[in-house]
């Protein structure tokens, strides 16, 4: 059978070079293990911060204890002045500091509106945001406590004072990720995106390598001139390997690590299979349009890296500039991410995600557009270094 002969030929090529084994097995599994291990605690906790207490009163010590009790921050250093604390932030020892001015307790009791200050280093977004949130929570709580004490001292009932300060009790219930676990969100977006980047590189490399070594003529002849069969036989072993790696990673995340899966596992397995084939189709299309080895690899590398930014993982597409947001819909990984949200997190019927599956299928069929062009390139291989 012609297709079987092409598959055997491709398997020999895959096992003849270590680069294929490293890129298809070692790199995705190693990177997945690294990221999952890095994010195993979910939400980063106990960000190191500093404390500048210029008051040294019982109230300032109570604020310091409250700050240290916060799960988000950890008072790692005590400074004697503002300038020492700023130097600590600049050197990277801490990500922010809380400043209590002198005579804070005296002014608070006298009703003179003392000022609490806190500083967060937003250059590094995650620890800066966490320190800001922890500081703000304690500052608001302290302000409420001072107001309550003032009202009670003025003769108001303690329960009435509490109701005036906080007339509403707000309860937040994050849907489908009540633990606000960063790993559930980030690992399920970055790991498939990394896998897609590797698929792009390996697919382009394996096809352009035929042009470079001049074996594309032999490849096409072995397929009896059928470019579609030649392409299918070359990509099918890679599809099986990449899909197996992707499903193995999914099994670890959903089965071993307990990531939410509020639908049938087959839905996500199908999404992984379509992501692999869609990414391969996208890579083949780039190769058909740009047969130059270096340019094709550069284009898919750039596209794969940009997917981390424009696919909507870390910043919502709806808030992007229109000219940038449009790029998120011309890369396959975007649709896999939307399927994950719908099927794994929200658990809605697969019917409502049908367009995302169809989009991945269309990417899979994309090479049909330039199949004749690829055949001409194989018949007359030209390698431009």
What does the domain layout of the chain look like in residue ranges?
Answer: 2-40+179-379, 47-165
Q: Tell me, what's the pLDDT at 161? A: 66
Q: Which of 95-99, 202-206, 219-223, 267-271 has the lowest mean pLDDT?
A: 219-223
Q: Which of 224-238, 241-255, 301-315 has the lowest mean pLDDT?
A: 301-315
3-class SS of residue 258: coil
Q: Tell me, what's the pLDDT at 335? A: 94
pLDDT score of 182 more than 90: no
Q: How far is CA 111 from CA 92, 108, 146, 297, 335, in A?
A: 37, 5, 9, 67, 57
Q: Tell me, what's the pLDDT at 164? A: 65
pLDDT score of 313 more than 80: no
Higher pLDDT, 160 or 266: 266
For the chain, strand residue ranges (E) read 47-53, 73-79, 96-100, 117-120
What are the pLDDT digits (tens) for 50-78?
A: 999 999 888 888 888 888 888 888 888 88
- Write a three-state SS string for 39-102: CCCCCCCCEEEEEEECCCCHHHHHHHHHHHHCCCEEEEEEECCHHHHHHHHHCCCCCEEEEECC
Mean pLDDT of 106-130: 84
Token digits for 165? Answer: 């300060």
pLDDT score of 41 more than 70: yes
Mean pLDDT of 349-368: 95
Does domain 47-165 bear CATH number 3.40.50.620? no
Neighbours of 336 (CB within 10 A): 29
Q: Which of 52-61, 94-103, 123-132, 251-260 has the lowest mean pLDDT?
A: 123-132
Taking a C-beta distance cutoff of 8 angstroms, is the pair 321, 300 a contact? Answer: no
3-class SS of residue 117: strand
Assign 377 a pLDDT band (cuts: 50, 70, 90): confident
Q: What is the mean pLDDT of the chain?
A: 87
**pTM of this structure:** 0.82
Token digits for 82? Answer: 């503002």
pLDDT score of 325 more than 90: no
pLDDT score of 314 more than 80: no
């Amino acid at each position: 059978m012609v297709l079987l002969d092409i598959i055997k030929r491709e398997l020999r090529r895959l096992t003849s070079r270590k680069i294929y084994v490293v890129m298809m097995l070692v790199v995705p599994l190693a990177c997945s293990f690294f990221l999952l291990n890095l994010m195993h605690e979910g939400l980063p906790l106990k960000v190191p911060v500093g404390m500048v207490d210029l008051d040294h009163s019982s109230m300032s010590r109570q604020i310091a204890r409250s700050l240290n009790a916060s799960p988000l921050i950890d008072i790692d250093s005590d400074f004697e002045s503002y300038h020492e604390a700023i130097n600590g932030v600049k050197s990277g020892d801490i990500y922010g500091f809380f400043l209590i001015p002198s005579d804070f307790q005296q002014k608070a009791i006298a009703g003179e509106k003392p000022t609490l200050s806190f500083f967060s280093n937003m250059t590094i977004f995650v620890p800066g945001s966490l320190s800001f949130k922890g500081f703000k929570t304690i500052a608001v709580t302290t302000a409420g406590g001072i107001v309550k004490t003032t009202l009670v001292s003025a003769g108001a009932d303690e329960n009435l004072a509490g109701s005036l300060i906080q007339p509403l009790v707000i309860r937040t219930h994050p849907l489908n990720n009540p633990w606000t676990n960063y790993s559930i969100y980030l690992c399920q977006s970055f790991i498939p995106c990394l896998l897609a980047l590797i698929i792009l590189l390996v697919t382009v490399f394996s096809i352009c390598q035929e042009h470079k070594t001049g074996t594309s003529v032999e490849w096409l002849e072995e397929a009896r001139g059928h470019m579609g069969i030649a392409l299918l036989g070359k990509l099918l072993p890679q599809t099986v390997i990449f899909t197996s790696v992707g499903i193995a990673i999914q099994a670890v995340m959903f089965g071993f690590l307990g990531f939410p899966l509020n639908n049938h596992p087959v839905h996500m397995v199908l999404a992984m299979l379509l992501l692999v084939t869609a990414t391969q189709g996208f890579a083949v299309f780039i190769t058909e349009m740009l047969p130059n080895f270096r340019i094709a690899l550069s284009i898919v590398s750039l596209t794969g890296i940009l997917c981390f930014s424009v696919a909507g993982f870390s910043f919502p597409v709806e808030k992007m500039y229109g000219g940038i947001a449009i790029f998120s819909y011309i890369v396959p990984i975007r649709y896999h991410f939307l399927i994950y949200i719908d099927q794994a997190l929200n658990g809605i019927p697969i019917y409502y995600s049908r367009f995302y599956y169809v989009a991945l299928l269309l990417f899979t069929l994309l090479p049909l557009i330039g199949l004749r062009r690829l055949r001409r390139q194989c018949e007359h291989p030209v390698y431009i270094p």
